[in-house]
Chains A and B, each alone.
Chain A
Amino acid sequence: MTAVQEVPISAGGNPIGFGSMKRVEDQRFVRGQGNYVDDVNLPGMLHSAILRSPWAHARIKSIDTSAALALPGVIAVLTGKDLEGIPRPSLLGDNFAWMPTLSYDTQAVLATDKVRFQGQEVAYVIAESRYIAKDAVELIDVDYEPLEPVMDAKRAMDPGAPVIRDDKGQTDNSITDVHGHKTWESGNAISTAEAIARAEADPNCVVVTQEVMYPRVHPAPMETCGSVAHLDKVTGQLTLYTTSQAPHAHRTVYAMVAGLPEQKIRVIAPDIGGGFGNKVGVYPGYVLSILGTIVTGKPVKWIEDRGENLMSTSFARDYHMTGKIAATKDGKILAVDVDVLADHGAFNGVAQPTNYPAGFFHIFSGSYDYPDAHCKVTPVYTNKAPGGVAYACSFRITEAVYVIERLVDCLAAELGMDPAELRLKNLLKPDQFPYTSPTGWVYDSGQYEKTMRVAMEIAGYDELRREQAEKRARGEYMGIGISFFTEGVGAGPRKDMDILGLGMADGIELRVHPTGKAVLRLSVMSQGQGHETTYAQIVAHELGIPPEDIDVVNGDTDQTPFGLGTYGSRSMPVSGAAAAIVSRKVKERARIVAAAALECSPDDLEWELGRWSVKGDKERGKTIQEIALLSHSSLELPEGVEGHLDATAVYNPPNLTYPYGAYICVVDVDPGTGVVKVRRFIAVDDCGTRVNPMLVDGQVHGGIADGIGMALMELIAFDTDGNNLGGSFMDYLLPTSMECPSFELGETVTPSPHHPIGAKGVGESATVGSPAAVVNAVMDALAPFGVRHADMPLTPSNVWRAIQGNPIRVDMAIE
């Protein structure tokens, strides 16, 4: 089950199974031979650009496209009115001006009546070159009647607030999910309220309340979104090259949106320059490129610029959380209650399982043992871009981990207790697994204390506390922050989880050629995770075929079986399991073939290192390669056995997997300037079995950088006029090599009991777990100033203001 056994090495120098292996895909990337969407050029291809709204909220009075159309080289200009005129034979409305979101809401493809956020799509130009398309966009004249924008979630709740979704006949800014709910609750409201009330009345207990904002941020992959659409008018075949983390789900959505027959749609996600959830949604730009090719009959390319990416595509978070934690004075946690106001922007475009409208936020009870927890989430529309689930958040577990880990630190401060000691006192014990949380999640496995102690050991925790005490005495401000997180990933069990009615199970297909070489076809899609390498290792582990003999295909719906794609850290827990299972099917087919060849019963055979051999007579056996050839030969097979070894599988996970980890961050804060220097970051992840430890570490590194970015720098803020203040990399600050320390990693390995190879997934762990560690460290540094909480991002000015007792309000629009 685990990777502890000796792994044989192939002739190509690779582990035939699990172990650090250099990536297959690097060969093309280091040569500049990757193939990203903007690298796709088709004969006769046209280019396109989108005119976007300068206003956050305005009525469109008129649009004059004549000057743009008159520009030489412009082929077509489309407005919302034009799209209203294109009939659509589909279930989802009768014209193209609106499209469905992944949360059963509607979103304008091009605005018809009003614009509802700055950067919203208003008109679409198709031209001979990208320069001409951009020129033409400048020539479109739109007459807007500005309306009062609603730029913060609290204002959106006001009875007198302007109504954003009047297109749906709404009279307020509330959001109703597909089940008719306007708020989303989880846990036991009554028992939690009672537990908190009891604690409030008990002199031996404390209740700490803290408002915690997780501000709006953006995944900002280095490659922006884009697509190249080509409709072959003769065959009716639509090919879409696109930045998609979920090519199959996108194909189905396009079939629904465009009313095109699904078998005629081929979605190809070539190499993707980072996703982080940004490339899960279906954006108007993709749909417009499809309309562009339908209208012109030529291939049409659309590539977003950076400002468009930051201002219009899926943002993340924007969760206004108020948490209450009750505990005994000696530090036993009793109950947690969290109330959330969720800013969803102008369209409810959240990409998450239907039955989980607040994502997996209700895992917020965390890694601790206590009976009572409850949360209530109230979503609202505002005049901001849609989205909400993105940026490696594991369906909002980032927000959940952040609130509980801030609350635990606030509690530690209140009790005057060391935050490590407080956590150790409350962490779940190994014998409690499988553990059912107060909000109903069933955690599969964990050795939390062990993992915590490994992190403390690497950090030299006690020594750090001594150093801190000495420094404080000298007037220097050093902080140590801890975050202990548990995620539930690998969505998910089909009975509970779907997106737009599509169950979250994933298909896989393994072909073994006569010479014993294999091709594995995945439904999930790498955006840099290294699937071409790790999936070959899984097959190698199961079948003993060297990984260099296995090609992995992903990202082309015509070449791969259906599945929901890669996000929410679901590749390894879902598709990784599928890879093991399909390999085992092949192994069983091989057993029958081997038995026929060896003239014995399949039951008489045993498997070892890529070979079936006769029990008690090891010499008599056949390797998987020999069996592959035999399976295609004239060898007589038993009645009902078809021959060949190829197999398919669909994996429907019985439960989520629950990776977890202990993170410790050490910072130095200059109180004069407010500058925070992250000196050290220690991360001990337990993601179960590690297929390729080198790649696991790489995933963790990237996530820690994300956490440092969000904690210290990244913010999509708005002013009260509705202007997006984070619309470029000048304003939306990403961490560079200078802000990131050299991370120190450790591991514990607690396999998932229900996953065929015990793997839990790790893609988002560090993004989920690290922000709280950084913020906790800064708050720890600022404790001598009496600061208990300040919201992210902890920029120098925000830290400086926090020290002055006046931290920045990131929950409100800026005057």
Chain B
Amino acid sequence: MEISMKINGAEVTHDVEPRTLLVHFVRENAGLRGTHWGCDTSNCGACVLWVDGTPTKSCTMLAASAAGHDITTVEGLEKDGKLDPIQQGFIECHGLQCGFCTPGMLMTGRWILDNNPKPSEEEIREGISGQLCRCTGYKNIVDSIHWAADHPAENEVSA
């Protein structure tokens, strides 16, 4: 079946099997491999991207269900050659090691800050608790999100 959706602002259309998972549509059909896959049971969150601005586990959604919706992936975070503060925060605070969980963590981290610009440690920990990281022990991920909270992008400062 033919499925169309907007990914990072661009219209994407592909003819795929009805059972195609969104994670596979994004990775294989749209060719955006920043979104990862890590489990069979919706536990790991390596696949998290945004559907209409909300973090979603793309391994647990059919591409067909996302048809007509607005998808944002990690590739959509950088604007005009400038990293989003959440990306910069992960670099500053060593919030990643192997980088496999990172795209999902970035998407959730950005979303947390969009909804709560000054989150507490508890709020951040709860916000990322549906996503697993095997490398960092989470402390530096929490610190990275805090760094981004403390360094909002210039255009957002006035907002």
Q: Which residues of A contact B (CB under 8 A)?
A: 22-23, 25-36, 38-39, 131, 219-224, 271-276, 305-307, 527-530, 694-695, 697-698, 701-706, 728-730, 734, 736-738, 740, 742-743
Contact = CB atoms under 8 A, between A and B. Distances in A.
B132 A734 contact: yes
Interface string B87-122: 110111010111111110010000000000000010
Given A29-B99, A222-B101, A223-B38, 9 more contacts: A30-B87, A36-B100, A38-B33, A221-B100, A223-B98, A273-B100, A274-B135, A528-B135, A694-B94
Given A701-B139, A740-B138, A743-B139, A272 B98 contact: yes
B126 A273 contact: no
B152 interface: no
Contact of B34 (A32, A219, A704): A32
A29 B73 CA distance: 13
B33 A22 contact: no
22 contacts: A28-B99, A30-B106, A32-B34, A38-B27, A221-B134, A222-B36, A222-B38, A222-B132, A273-B100, A306-B44, A528-B97, A528-B98, A697-B94, A705-B134, A705-B137, A734-B132, A736-B128, A737-B126, A738-B125, A738-B126, A738-B129, A740-B139
A701 B137 contact: yes
B32 to A, nearest CB: 7
Given A273-B100, A274-B98, A737-B141, A32 B132 contact: no
Nearest to A276: B134
A306 B39 contact: yes
A702 B129 contact: no
Contact of A702 (B33, B34, B136): B136
A222 B103 CA distance: 12
B97 A530 contact: yes
B150 interface: no
B98 A39 contact: no
B32 A737 contact: no
Given A32-B33, A737-B128, A742-B121, A274 B138 contact: no
A729 B45 CA distance: 11
B40 interface: yes
B71 interface: no
B38 A33 contact: no
- Among B38, B75, B83, B126, the most chain A Cβ lie within 10 Å of the Cβ of B38
Given A31-B78, A224-B38, A26 B96 contact: yes
B36 A36 contact: yes
B128 to A, nearest CB: 5
Interface of A is mostly: loop
Nearest to B125: A737
A734 B121 CA distance: 20
Contact of B40 (A275, A306, A694, A697): A306
Nearest to A741: B139
Contacts of A35: 33
A22 B92 contact: yes
B139 A26 contact: no
Contacts of A222: 36, 38, 44, 46, 98, 100-101, 132-135
A702 B40 contact: no
A31 B27 CA distance: 15
B102 A30 contact: yes
Contacts of A740: 137-139
Given A33-B34, A702-B137, A271 B91 contact: no
B37 interface: yes
B74 interface: yes
Interface in B28-78: 32-41, 43-44, 46, 73-75, 77-78
Interface residues of B, number: 57
B149 interface: no
Contacts of A275: 98
A80 B39 CA distance: 28
B134 A734 contact: yes
Contact of A34 (B20, B77, B99, B138): B99
Nearest to A731: B41
Given A26-B90, A702-B97, A734-B132, A31 B34 contact: yes
Contacts of B44: 222, 306, 729
Interface of B: 17, 19-20, 27, 32-41, 43-44, 46, 73-75, 77-78, 83, 87-88, 90-92, 94, 96-103, 106, 121, 124-126, 128-142
B45 to A, nearest CB: 9
A273 B100 CA distance: 5
A740 B133 CA distance: 11
Given A698-B97, A738-B129, A30 B83 contact: yes
A702 B135 contact: yes
Contacts of B142: 737, 742
Contacts of A38: 27, 33, 36-37
B99 A698 contact: no
A659 B16 CA distance: 53
B96 A32 contact: no
B41 to A, nearest CB: 5
A29 B96 contact: yes
Nearest to A25: B99
B135 A30 contact: no
A131 B63 CA distance: 14
A809 to B, nearest CB: 27
Contact of B99 (A219, A273, A697, A706): A273
A32 B125 contact: no
Contacts of A698: 94, 97, 135-136, 140
Nearest to A745: B139
Contact of B91 (A26, A36, A223, A528): A26
A31 B96 CA distance: 12
A310 to B, nearest CB: 10
Contacts of A223: 36, 38, 98, 100
B137 A743 contact: yes
Given A32-B74, A271-B99, A701-B136, A730 B38 contact: no
A694 B95 CA distance: 11
B32 A32 contact: yes
B143 to A, nearest CB: 9
B98 A131 contact: no
Contact of A305 (B27, B40, B83, B140): B40
Contacts of A274: 97-98, 100, 134-135
Contacts of A730: 41, 43
Contacts of B19: 131
A325 B129 CA distance: 41
Contacts of A220: 134
Nearest to B124: A737
Contact of A528 (B78, B99, B125): B99
Contacts of A271: 98-99
Nearest to B101: A222
B74 to A, nearest CB: 4
A729 B132 contact: yes
B131 to A, nearest CB: 8
Contacts of B27: 38
Contacts of B132: 222, 729, 734, 736
A306 B37 CA distance: 10
Contacts of A34: 34, 99-100
Contacts of B77: 31
Contacts of B39: 306, 728-729
A275 B134 CA distance: 9
Contact of A31 (B17, B74, B140): B74
Contacts of B100: 34, 36, 221-223, 273-274, 528
B129 A736 contact: yes
A702 B101 CA distance: 13
Contacts of A695: 94
Given A222-B38, A701-B137, A729 B98 contact: no
B135 A32 contact: no
A222 B126 CA distance: 20
B146 to A, nearest CB: 11
Given A222-B101, A224-B38, A30 B139 contact: no
